[in-house]
Chain A
Amino acid sequence: DAKTTQPNSMESNEEEPVHLPCNHSTISGTDYIHWYRQLPSQGPEYVIHGLTSNVNNRMASLAIAEDRKSSTLILHRATLRDAAVYYCILRDDGGATNKLIFGTGTLLAVQP
């Protein structure tokens, strides 16, 4: 599985945008970029995923670099509830396996 690199931690202020980076220089052409987050004392939850084009949903936006070697998860207005560990994961969604391999993620702290 291709590896991702994320900062260990980041801080943000409430109601400000947050840009969470992820580097994946060894991404293959069939790897999708998935983002999950884990709130304190809860199981991980899906945030967003994409292949090549930028993606938007009600939770966040995903900006994917043109060469696909990096991506950025964008929370447009951080709230205290967004404090969590954010995981960037690559998966070959067209392949034989649908498992996710979690790394260490980025711990996002949101200050009021």
Chain B
Amino acid sequence: DAGVIQSPRHEVTEMGQEVTLRCKPISGHNSLFWYRQTMMRGLELLIYFNNNVPIDDSGMPEDRFSAKMPNASFSTLKIQPSEPRDSAVYFCASSFRGRAVSDTQYFGPGTRLTVL
């Protein structure tokens, strides 16, 4: 399996522009998570989906951020308009939540976003 795939790996944009980050989870997984990592705040959970349905978006910083999961194999995280403080590494992770009590999350390589 190719693992969790994220694109782009690096994104540099200017303040006010729209940014879209993409994630392809591991085939067969039914949970998907978006995280953000900065030096100041560490690794923060932004939102997660179970079976393509958003379950908890309490970590989404503000209305400028939105996430969608139109099908089991694709998710996007959009920032519109972007601001310099959004600069961070954004990770996507997926897991399979089934009958077993514990599920393991598998992380993608991340997208490093720089907003100038």
Contact = CB atoms under 8 A, between A and B. Distances in A.
A99 B106 contact: no
Nearest to A101: B45
A33 B27 CA distance: 26
Contacts of B48: 98-99
B66 to A, nearest CB: 19
Given A43-B91, A43-B107, A99-B56, A49 B102 contact: yes
Interface in A30-48: 32, 34, 36, 38, 42-46
B95 interface: yes
A99 B103 contact: no
Would you call the interface of chain A mostly helix, strand, loop, or mixed?
Answer: loop
B73 interface: no
Contacts of B45: 99-102
A43 B42 contact: no
Interface of B: 4, 31, 33, 35, 42-45, 48, 50, 55-56, 91, 93, 95, 97, 101-110
